[in-house]
C-alpha cells in the first residue's frame, strides 16, 4: 500500500515582489518544478525543485524531461524503504534540485502514510527556528532602507548581498550598521571578490568596529585555496556556499581547513547528501547554516522541516518564499516571520 503509484512534475512560475539582484544575477521571477509522489494507498507527498543555472547548471526546460525516466526508476518502490529511493536518486547527481524534490516528496508521502511530520522523521530536534531576511544589491539608499525595514519588522539577522563594487559595499555596510544597531549580519559576496579584495573588505569593516557574523562565499566557487587564504586573514567567520555543493566538496573543504561555516542548500545536495554533510561538519567541529534558492512555500517547507528535524544550524536563510508572490501558503509549518514553527 505504501508503494509509489505515480509521480508528476508541474512547472510553476512565481514573480518576485521586487527584482532580486545578487552578484552577476538579476531575477524578476522564479520558475520551479513541483513534484508529487502518490502511493497505492492514495497518500501524496510534495516536493519542489528550484534549479539554478548559475550554481548547478540546471534549467527547468531540461529537468521537466526527467519525469518519465524517474517514474520508470521509482514506481513500485515503497516509501517506507526510503533509503532505497534515496540511493536511486543519488545517481541523478547532475540534477540536484530534482534529487532534492523527489527525496523530500518521498518523506512527505511517508509522513502521510504513518501520520508523523517529516521533521520528526528526521529527528524532531527543534520546535521552531528563526530565519534571516535578505537585502539585495541596489543603490546605497535603497539597501539601507530595506535593511531598516527588515530590522524594524522584527528580524534580528540581516543578510546583505555584496560583491560587485568593493568601495560601495563598504559604504553600504557602514550605513546599514548605523541604522540597525543590534542586528546580526551575514554578508554574502556570491563569488564576487578576489581573495585580496575579500581581505580588504573584512579588514576595513573590522577597523570601523563593524562586526559581521558570517562572510559567505567571498571568492569563486572553484577557488578553495582562495577561501582558505581569506579565512586565515579574516577576523570574521568565513563560509562556503557555491563551493559546497556535495558531500565530497565539503570533505575537501574540511581537509583543507578552508572555512568556518558550510551553507547547506537542499537544491545543491538533495536530502541524502545534506544529512551526510550535517554529520561531517559536526564531526569537524565547524558550523552550519541552511539556505535557499528561489523556492516557494512548498520548497521552503522542505528546508524548514530539515532544519527542525536535525537542529543542526546556527543560521537559517530561508526567506525566498517571503520574497515571492504566491496565491496560497502551502508549507507544513507555521510561518510568523522571522519565526517558523513546527505543526
Residues designated as active site? 161, 265
| Alpha carbon distance 40, 20 (integer Å) | 41
Q: Which three cell numbers stand for residue 255?
A: 581537509
Q: Is 3 helix (H, G, I), strand (E, B) or coil?
A: strand
CB contact at 8 A, 318 and 340: yes
DSSP 8-state symbol, 327: S
Q: Is 241 annotated as a binding residue?
A: yes
C-alpha of 172 from chain center: 24
Q: Is 250 helix (H, G, I), strand (E, B) or coil?
A: helix
| DSSP assignments along 155-203, one per residue | -SEEEEE--S-HHHHHHHHHHHHHHSTT-EEEEE-TT-S-HHHHHHHHH
Return the H-helix or E-strand segment holding 111: helix 96-114
C-alpha of 184 from chain center: 18
| Alpha carbon distance 177, 183 (integer Å) | 8
Q: Is 15 annotated as a binding residue?
A: no
Q: Is 146 annotated as a binding residue?
A: no
Q: Is 28 helix (H, G, I), strand (E, B) or coil?
A: strand
Instruction: Using only the alpha carbons of the chain, give its radius of gyration.
Output: 20
| Alpha carbon distance 260, 228 (integer Å) | 10
Binding-site residues from annotation for Mg(2+): 188, 216, 241
Binding-site residues from annotation: 188, 216, 241
Amino acid at each position: 500500500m505504501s508503494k509509489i503509484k505515480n509521480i508528476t512534475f508541474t512547472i510553476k512560475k512565481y514573480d518576485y515582489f521586487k527584482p532580486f539582484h545578487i552578484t552577476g544575477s538579476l531575477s524578476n521571477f522564479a520558475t520551479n518544478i513541483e513534484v508529487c509522489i502518490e502511493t497505492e494507498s492514495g497518500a501524496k507527498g510534495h516536493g519542489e525543485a528550484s534549479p539554478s543555472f548559475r550554481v548547478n547548471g540546471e534549467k527547468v526546460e531540461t529537468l521537466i524531461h526527467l519525469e518519465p525516466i524517474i517514474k520508470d526508476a521509482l514506481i513500485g518502490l515503497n516509501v517506507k524503504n526510503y533509503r532505497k529511493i534515496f540511493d536511486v536518486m543519488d545517481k541523478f547527481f547532475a540534477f540536484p534540485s530534482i534529487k532534492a524534490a523527489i527525496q523530500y516528496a518521498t518523506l512527505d508521502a511517508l509522513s502521510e502514510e504513518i501520520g508523523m511530520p517529516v521533521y520528526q522523521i528526521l529527528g524532531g530536534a527543534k520546535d521552531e527556528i528563526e530565519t534571516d531576511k535578505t537585502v539585495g544589491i541596489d543603490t546605497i539608499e535603497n539597501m539601507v532602507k530595506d535593511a531598516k525595514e527588515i530590522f524594524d519588522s522584527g528580524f534580528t539577522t540581516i543578510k546583505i548581498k555584496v560583491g560587485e563594487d568593493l568601495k560601495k559595499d563598504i559604504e553600504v555596510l557602514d550605513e546599514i550598521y548605523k541604522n540597525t544597531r543590534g542586528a546580526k549580519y551575514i554578508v554574502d559576496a556570491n563569488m564576487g571578490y578576489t581573495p585580496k579584495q575579500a581581505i580588504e573588505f573584512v579588514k576595513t569593516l573590522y577597523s570601523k568596529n563593524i562586526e559581521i557574523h558570517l562572510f559567505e562565499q567571498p571568492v569563486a566557487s572553484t577557488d578553495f585555496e582562495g577561501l582558505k587564504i581569506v579565512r586565515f586573514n579574516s577576523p570574521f567567520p568565513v563560509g562556503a556556499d557555491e563551493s559546497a555543493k556535495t558531500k565530497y566538496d565539503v570533505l575537501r573543504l574540511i581537509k583543507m581547513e578552508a572555512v568556518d561555516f558550510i551553507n547547506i542548500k537542499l537544491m545543491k545536495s538533495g536530502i541524502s547528501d545534506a544529512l551526510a554533510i550535517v554529520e561531517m561538519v559536526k564531526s569537524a567541529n565547524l558550523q552550519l547554516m541552511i539556505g535557499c534558492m528561489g523556492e516557494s512555500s512548498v520548497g521552503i517547507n522542505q528546508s524548514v522541516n530539515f532544519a527542525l528535524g536535525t537542529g543542526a544550524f546556527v543560521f537559517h536563510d530561508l526567506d525566498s518564499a517571503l520574497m515571492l508572490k504566491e496565491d496560497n501558503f502551502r508549507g507544513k509549518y507555521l510561518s510568523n516571520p522571522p519565526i517558523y514553527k513546527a505543526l
